[in-house]
Amino acid sequence: MTIGKSNRQFRKKGRKQKADPFLKKVWYDVKAPNIFRETQIGKTCVNPTGGGKTSEQQLDKRMFEVSLGDLNKDERKAYMQFKFRVEHVSGTNCFTNFYGMRLTNDKVQSLVVKYHTLIEAVVNVKTTDGYTVRIFCIGFTKKDRNQVKKTCYAQSSQVREIRRRMVNIMIKESNCTLKELTLKLISESVPKEITKQCQSVFPLQNVYLRKMKVLKTPKVDVDTILKLHGFETKKKKETGKKVNRKKKRGGNKKKKN
């Protein structure tokens, strides 16, 4: 033992264990509109009310992306990713609305083929209920059945004509509400119409609406959001009681001589 050192044993100070931050979180159910088979998207967590912000304010405008294969329980359409945004919070439920759609990267990459012409079209449209939407369309030329030639390229004039018809069909089909436009995306009726209308110019294959995003949204009432989720809201008409007005008795007017 060296001189000048004490015999006391010092205890090492242990570090404080940090509490799990997820224990304080509040969990909410995320609901999709009732046009899909599966309306329960999943769950999301948020910090409890505090610091000048309520949990409802923190959840407002939160985005979720779900595959159409999970929403409609159809694995064949798993390549379509739908985007939803929270519009209203009630209790422990977050009611969302459609906010966009895109094809997965592996699906788009599988469509690209050599010796074919790729044709794309983009258009901004406005629905009847006030939503401004941008739609992207993609298509590829198709070989004839008995074609011997290796390549299948379209002329520039044919590409312009096909693109013009794509834009016109997308504008025509979007002259509806956002709910009806979402149903057209699910059924893929717009690409089928484009393939049919462009057949006389040049045969097409693998025509898809590659992407769709909402640019501007109008002010939406809570009742309209609840109607999308199957809730009926009846507005009571204000009825007032009839009031019998008393006739004013006029004074005796003196006749002028």
Instruction: Categorize the per-residue pLDDT at 8 as very low, low, confident or very high, splitting at 50, 70 and 90.
Output: low
Q: What is the mean pLDDT of residues 156-173?
A: 96
Phi-psi region of 192 (alpha: psi -120 to 50; beta: other; left: phi over 0): alpha
Distance CA 171, CA 135 (A): 9
Q: For residue 136, which of 172, 99, 163 has the smallest C-alpha distance?
A: 163
The pLDDT value recorded for residue 40 is 92
For residue 9, is pLDDT > 70? no
Across the chain, mean pLDDT equals 87
At 216, list the tokens.
Answer: 């501007």
Position with higher pLDDT, 14 vs 155: 155
Considering the chain, what percentage of its residues have pLDDT values greater than 70? 84
d(CA 168, CA 154) in angstroms, rounded, equals 20
What mean pLDDT do residues 197-210 have? 94
34, pLDDT greater than 60 = yes
Tokens found for residue 19: 């509490």
Tokens representing 63?
Answer: 């985005």
Question: Band of the pLDDT at 16, cuts 50, 70, 90?
Answer: confident
Examine the pLDDT at 27 and tell me if it is beyond 90: yes
Q: What is the pLDDT of residues 48-104, one digit of tens each?
A: 888 788 888 899 999 999 999 999 998 999 999 999 999 999 989 999 999 999 999
CA-closest candidate to residue 89, choices 58, 65, 66:
58
> For position 117, what pLDDT does the model report?
95
Q: Which residue has the higher pLDDT, 15 or 20?
A: 20
pLDDT at residue 43 is higher than 60: yes
Instruction: Decide if pLDDT at 22 tops 90.
Output: no
pTM confidence score: 0.79
Q: How confident is the model over 236-245, as a mean pLDDT? A: 62
Spatial separation of the C-alpha atoms in residues 173 and 193, rounded to whole Å: 10
What percentage of the chain reaches a pLDDT higher than 90? 65
Res. 20 pLDDT band, cuts 50 70 90: confident
155: confidence class by pLDDT, cuts 50, 70, 90: very high
Q: Residue 87: how many CB atoms within 10 A of its CB? A: 19
